[in-house]
Chain A
Amino acid sequence: MSEACDACLTWTWLLGRMAGHLDHARARIAAVLELDEEELIAALGGDLGTDLLRERDAVDPARQRDRCSQAGLQVVCRCDPAYPVRLRDLPAPPRVLHVGGGLDRFLELTARDPVAIVGSRAASSYGTGVARSLGAALGRAGMTVVSGMAHGIDSAAHVGALDALAPTIAVLPGPAERPYPASRRALHRRVVRTGAAVSELPPGTPVRRWMFPARNRIIAALAAMTVVVEAAERSGSLVTAGFAQQLGRVIGAVPGQVTRPQTAGSNALLAAGATVVRGPQDVLDAVFGTGMRAATEDDRPELTEELALLLAGLADGRGTSAALIRAGYEPDEGIAALASLELAGYLRRDGGGRYAVVP
């Protein structure tokens, strides 16, 4: 089994130890992570410089390994030949990857054409619906869905894949054993059960702001293609797309309503030449070449003419009851029709108890 080397573990210890100092250099975090131990301490250690050097000399790598296994994590360092090859494209590949859910499984999943689905935390129900069905369809097509487990798009992508019984990789901003955000405890458990939760930080490290862009570079590097579902003009997912571009990976974006500021960022990506993602087939075509692989067929039952009319009314963006009246339903007929569309898989009810169309 793979093990991390002493040098990489010591550096990673220092990264965790200095986590609080790195926020100052948040804007240049990729460059900071390229520094070696002495440079890091000199650049950001401040007054603590000599103390940190002394502490660093006293670090016992065996103890670090123990802490990881106590947290239920397995480790692999970049000196190991088994280390995911895509991550080596980064100027500063994570020295040590801490993996929850099994290292072998993680390494196997990274070889299975990972695709990153990322986007806004404050997503619309359209966005989460698209992310969910993309996650499900790509998972079914045998790709590994990679995302960051944040609220909104990220979680929806994971959930979509998991619902389709496909394993998924969550790259966490904090340590891998800790669900972040904390409300995603249940999702974290589900991800770890069949897939993997990954981080470059040693267990127990508190979450800092610089860790989000650092995490985004790992997502971009792991994936063959990065799909941005919904992003505002200043969004972490655009950072991910930026890293993906530097690495020469394919970037895709899902078109959003032009009037919504919440999708201005993803639309801007499209304007700059990103691949248009209208559904899972567009992703499969971009990764494997046009026509090489087909998404699995829609296995939902055929709709009657009446139900199709109702669904079209909803898909038009009309409110529920307005669509009902347009289709000429009595209220109880209408609500029953909505329920049967839901059972057939064309609609789902989201957090607010309202209906969203499943693409």
Chain B
Amino acid sequence: MLARIATFAIDGVDPRQVSVEVHIRPGLPAFAIVGLADTAVRESRDRIHSAILNSKFEFPSRRITANLAPAFLRKVGPGFDAALALAVLAASGQIPRDALAAYAVFGELSLGGELRDSPGALVVAEGARRAGLTKLIVPRERAREAALVEGLEVAGVPTLRAAADVVRGARPPELPEAPSAAAPDRAAEPDLADVRGHALPMLALQIAAAGGHNLLLEGPPGTGKTMLARRLPSILPRMTRAEAIEVTRIHSVAGLHADGLIGRRPFRAPHHTISPSGLVGGGAPPKPGEATLAHRGVLFLDELSEFQRSTLDALRQPLEDGSVAIVRGQRALVFPTKFMLIAATNPCPCGFAGIDDRCNCGEADIRRHRRKLSGPLLDRMDLLVDVGRPSERELTSGPITSSDSARRRVADARERQRARLDGTTASCNGEMDARTVRRHVTLDEPAEQALARAYSVGALSARGRHRVLRVARTIADLEGHERVSHRDLLTALGLRQQPDLASAA
């Protein structure tokens, strides 16, 4: 007898439908799995055998052949266990075969017959909906996550027995409560209200958040660069449901998240010893890297000068395209990487340049230090701000702003950008290309003059001019100015990144 059931393989962060076919015919007892399965899948024979027996079913003592189709797709991991077991039960007539047609099944089995927590259920649920299936069986821990996909009847079951019951219709599947839409717990999040002093860096953070500009924080050790960076997600606009689902999907596949919808924008701060494939994704099978885990959120690179050049250069494509393609063998996987980059570095090797006399670094040392930063990466940083040591008075005074009020300003500015950039490829000022800048950034007369002067005295390169205009547009959006004013432009100039002296000299 032949039974079929649908399940899904997780390819990067995308679902691929896999059809599980089990055929039982007379012969000496044997259980073979074919169809490009890896070790974890082939080991599932033993798990399935025990799980079926321990679930008080009968394991057929005949010749069993299981096929995972399509045969060319490499199947990895234990997520096929439940589908295989149900197909065996159906093929041996212990559960009705016809009922299986509407179901997709996903999950790993234990020897005792329990369905174990398996990462990636949200991806599977999306795949099931796309494949036109109406019902999905997942481990109970993953039910809330899978239920985020609308139009799918999700059954979260604790055991193989319960799964079989659901298929039989003997007991109605316990539908998990749909998780409430993005209502993140803001109280536990770091807030700008915790920060004392740092008026200028906070301004830069808001500009960065409002325009989606990448930001470089420069300052001596211990002044609060990391503390400031950690607060950037809290002033970014709340994620839309679609964005939240994208993020949840990635974190679910990576096994970082188990329950419901992620409401908070991710903040990833990889250590500087990270490898290129750790940062942008890679390995076999390819796994998402930190850049993808920071999708729709913030990627923070502390001690930027300590990262390997090759690692930082690997960020170029993700920054440029908002996605990264990993090619392994004949296949290319695409991981999304739309994140805001914020980096921190010491101004010189000892870290105290410009602060006090402790710094003995000469210009040559500073230049060498700067050269360690990847040029192409610096080119993507629209904003540079000095983070100094707050004064005693600032430390004892009140906070300058809270994340809530900053986020409202940011959201207003983003709203203005959306209206203006409608119909272009950019969704915020930081994404504007040269043509969009020419079309949409208008300056008033004094600002025009200041820009011309900055360019003519050599304070700006052509590229730098472009960056300054983008930032100035964002500042004007924050201030609610229709055209970029003189002050907006000067502020943008003050926060610009410096072209390296080595190239100027």
Contact = CB atoms under 8 A, between A and B. Distances in A.
Nearest to B468: A339
A335 B200 contact: yes
Interface residues of A, number: 46
Contacts of B348: 352
Contacts of A336: 487, 490-491, 493-494
B363 A122 contact: yes
Q: Which of B199, B370, B384, B453 has the most C-beta atoms of chain A within 10 angstroms of its own C-beta?
A: B199
B362 interface: yes
A221 B498 CA distance: 38
B388 A354 contact: no
Interface in B334-353: 347-348, 353
A125 B347 CA distance: 13
Given A186-B505, A332-B203, A350-B501, A343 B362 contact: no
B354 A345 contact: no
Contact of B491 (A151, A260, A335, A353): A335
B454 interface: yes
A125 B363 contact: yes
Interface in A314-359: 319-322, 324-325, 330-340, 342-343, 345, 349-354
The 10 closest A-B pairs by CB, nearest first: A122-B362, A335-B494, A336-B490, A339-B493, A331-B199, A339-B494, A339-B490, A331-B200, A151-B364, A353-B498
A260 B203 CA distance: 35
Interface string A62-100: 000000000000000000000000000000000000000
Contacts of B504: 159
B201 to A, nearest CB: 9
B364 A121 contact: yes
B362 A120 contact: yes
B380 interface: no
B136 to A, nearest CB: 52
Interface in B316-368: 347-348, 353-355, 357, 360-367
B71 to A, nearest CB: 58
B386 interface: yes
A133 interface: no
Contacts of B395: none
Contacts of B202: 331
B498 to A, nearest CB: 4
B500 interface: yes
Interface string A108-127: 00000000000011111100
A304 interface: no
Interface string B166-196: 0000000000000000000000000000000
Contact of A334 (B200, B357, B364, B450): B200
13 contacts: A123-B364, A151-B363, A152-B364, A321-B199, A330-B199, A335-B203, A339-B490, A342-B493, A342-B494, A343-B453, A345-B457, A351-B498, A351-B500
Given A339-B491, A342-B493, A343-B493, A352 B388 contact: no
A322 B363 contact: no
In this complex, the interface size class of chain B, counting residues with CB under 8 Å from chain A, is 35 or more
A320 B505 contact: no
B490 A354 contact: no
Contacts of A184: 505
A352 B370 contact: yes
Contacts of A333: 487
B1 to A, nearest CB: 74
Interface of A: 120-125, 128, 151-152, 155-156, 159, 163, 183-184, 186-187, 259-260, 262, 319-322, 324-325, 330-340, 342-343, 345, 349-354
A2 to B, nearest CB: 32
B388 A124 contact: no
B497 interface: yes
A339 B394 CA distance: 24
B199 A128 contact: no
Contacts of A354: 347, 353-354, 386
Nearest to A125: B363
Contacts of A340: 450, 490
Contacts of B200: 321, 324, 331, 334-335
A352 B354 contact: yes
Contact of B450 (A125, A159, A343, A350): A343
A345 to B, nearest CB: 7
Nearest to A336: B490
B28 interface: no
A193 to B, nearest CB: 14
Nearest to A333: B487
Contacts of A156: 505
Given A124-B363, A335-B495, 4 more contacts: A156-B505, A335-B491, A339-B494, A342-B493
A151 B364 CA distance: 6
B395 to A, nearest CB: 13
Contact of B367 (A259, A343, A351): A351
A337 B361 CA distance: 28
Contacts of A123: 362-364
A342 B218 CA distance: 20
A337 B450 CA distance: 12
Given A340-B490, A351-B366, A321 B386 contact: yes
Contact of A351 (B363, B454, B494): B363
B284 interface: no
B502 interface: yes
